[in-house]
Chains A and B, each alone.
Chain A
Amino acid sequence: AQSVAQPEDQVNVAEGNPLTVKCTYSVSGNPYLFWYVQYPNRGLQFLLKYITGDNLVKGSYGFEAEFNKSQTSFHLKKPSALVSDSALYFCAVRDMMGGNTPLVFGKGTRLSVIA
């Protein structure tokens, strides 16, 4: 079975500082990995994905994530946080061999960037 763990409910960071939102996953085969962001009362916005290839994936709004197979992690990072980055972030995974099965989501991490 697939699963995603986001160990932190909340991450606080000062504006201008680097940020990291952690994610680890478990799948039986090779993973497809995704990060989404959600603003209050809004749907999910796609940030980036890892399918294959380069372990460092660059996405929208200056975010990037690094796929680490040995640690089964896909942490989201940004070199310099903005107040507008404050939102709820979800990591999601599916097994590459899983056919058209749905994404499995982590519980979410609330990021708060303080001016």
Chain B
Amino acid sequence: GAVVSQHPSRVICKSGTSVKIECRSLDFQATTMFWYRQFPKQSLMLMATSNEGSKATYEQGVEKDKFLINHASLTLSTLTVTSAHPEDSSFYICSASFKGSYNEQFFGPGTRLTVL
């Protein structure tokens, strides 16, 4: 149980285009979803926290207009990287939690974004 999927697993795009990454909780209702970014050989940096039906809370230094997060349902959150640039290339990981899970987070497999 408690499986989280991400799609796509890998995406390559041209500079200036927008890319949408989906995060789905497959067998539970995710009251909260988190988006992380990971640079090579570094730890996970939290980008934002989203609760279903409300606006995401972004961490300091994360541009809200560049990284659009939508948590439209209890099983789906999307991260859209708008007008992507090469410096946005990274590994993006989502996680989800639900009430009663001892606040444990269940992680998706990650999405590798490469911006040319």
Contacts and interface: CB of A to CB of B under 8 A. Distances in A.
**Consensus secondary structure, chain B interface:** strand
A43 B103 contact: no
A108 B41 CA distance: 8
Interface residues of B, number: 25
Interface in A26-78: 32, 34, 36, 41-46, 49, 51
Nearest to B49: A102
B16 to A, nearest CB: 25
Nearest to A44: B107
A45 B93 CA distance: 12
A105 interface: yes
Nearest to A104: B46
Contacts of B109: 42-43
A112 B112 CA distance: 24
A100 B101 CA distance: 10
A22 interface: no
B114 to A, nearest CB: 12
Contacts of B41: 108, 110
Interface string B31-51: 110100000011110100101
Contacts of B110: 41-43
A52 B2 CA distance: 21
B32 A100 contact: yes
